Amino acid sequence: MARRVLPGFGLSLGYTLAYLGLIVFLPLAALAVKASGIGMAGLWKTISAPPVLAALRLSFGAALLSAVINAAVGLLVAWVLVRYTFPGRRLVDALVDLPFALPTAVAGIALTALYAPNGWIGSWLAPFGIKVAFTSLGVLVAMIFVGFPFVVRTLQPVLEALDRDVEEAATSLGASRLQTFVRVLFPLLLPALLTGFALALARAVGEYGSVIFIAGNIPMKSEILPLVIVKQLEQFKYADAAAVGVVMLVLSFLLLLAISLLQRWSRRWAER
């Protein structure tokens, strides 16, 4: 048997697997078992129902879009927080985490109050015919809100660790600011940006509390997948609910796996 310098491999691996099995895998397996009660045909029938399909599209579509927006804005915010000093920077920095701490129902109610047609922001948008609260746009707003801290927090340490030297080297080699950003800085930030993107996406897909307050939950229009599941549970259709849950699970897993592969490709240069 090969000798290892670091002790405790067997114990720590065993512990890790047991913990993961108990906390993550067991509930998911139970979900799959429950869903299998209705068989493949039943599964297909459940998920191809138009309200379910519409909710599926909304849940994943809005989550992806919110993650893209959070990635872009998060990059900007992280950049400003790291690269510039200004009065109140620490305060702004602390504010970034608030969506983490706020109970999602509170966030949902606050957003609804703001974006309702008679709310502070909603009343400004109403004359242009833009309705946010009680539409799919409201779903997007809530998802952006809850996913916001992830990109900022994953990018900050990477931005702080960036060497000034590298930028100065690019400049003295004749690169413009834009070229320096696009060719030098962005590729270095991309792996962290993708991590933040994946986290924001996962959070948005799973978000329930804040979304159901602002969405209005009109079937086929502004109803998200988790709500579909809850409604099926209320009708005691446990197997159907589990089936929809499994579909969400598989889709989420595939998305995260794809992002993870993309991330690995984006940092191919870090391998020795």
The single-letter DSSP state of residue 128 is: G
263 binds another protein (CB under 8 A): no
Those residues with Cβ within 8 angstroms of residue 241's Cβ, 6 or more apart along the chain or in another chain? 229, 230, 232, 233
Near another protein by CB under 8 A, which window of 33-41, 152-160, 177-185, 231-239? Answer: 177-185
Is residue 113 a contact residue for another protein (CB under 8 A)? no
Q: Does 184 bind another protein (CB under 8 A)?
A: yes
Instruction: Using the minimum distance from each CB to another protein, give the nearer residue, 63 or 170.
Output: 170
Q: How far apart are CA 251 and CA 121, in angstroms?
A: 34
Q: Which of 168, 218, 220, 261 binds another protein (CB under 8 A)?
A: 168
Q: Which of 116, 170, 201, 242 binds another protein (CB under 8 A)?
A: 170
For residue 126, what is the DSSP state?
A: G
The rounded distance, in Å, linking the Cα atoms of 221 and 229 is: 16
Provide the token pair at 199.
Answer: 């986290």
Residue 160 touching another protein (CB under 8 A)? no
What is the distance, to the nearest Å, from the Cα of residue 245 to the centroid of all Cα atoms in its chain? 17
CB of 25 to another protein, least distance (A): 35
Q: Which stretch binds another protein (CB under 8 A): 28-36, 37-45, 136-144, 176-184?
A: 176-184
Longest Cα–Cα distance of the chain, Å, equals 75
Whole-angstrom distance between the N-terminal and C-terminal Cα of the chain?
26
Residue 40 touches another protein, criterion: CB under 8 A = no
Question: Applying CB under 8 A, which residues contact another protein?
Answer: 163, 165-166, 168-176, 179, 183-184, 187-188, 267-272
